Amino acid sequence: MLINIRRKYGARTVEAAIAQAYEYGDIPRGTVRVTTGNPRAVSVNVVDSEREALWHLSEGKTVQETAAIMRVGAQTIHTYCYRARQKLGVDTNEEAIAILFNE
């Protein structure tokens, strides 16, 4: 994703691409922080429940199974996934999983 965001904005660095994404409103402000010059070293404010929901889904669990494991409703799982996708600036759970778990 970071390489794609650099190409999308024609930026030379990840930091510049993130700044442009903020400017255009493509990524909510404060959700992404580059911790070093390494493009893989990006910190995103995805909370534990959002990360856990995506992890269960990445393991092949259904939304209903994930909800039962986490002891919440299925709609809550959908909300967790939606919020994580918004923070990561992606459209699908698969993209979010790939970013969060380096798959």
The string of pLDDT tens digits covering residues 64-94 is 999 999 999 999 999 999 999 888 888 899 9
Percent pLDDT > 90 in the chain is: 36
Cα atoms found within 13 Å of the Cα of residue 35, Cβ hemisphere only: 7
Distance of CA 83 to the CA centre of its chain: 8
The domain locations on the chain are: 2-33, 48-101
CATH of domain 48-101: 1.10.10.10
Q: What is the pLDDT of residue 32?
A: 60
Q: What is the pLDDT of residue 89?
A: 82
Give residue-wise pLDDT tens across range 5-36: 566 667 666 667 777 777 777 766 666 655 44
How far is 24 from 37, CA to CA, in rounded Å? 23
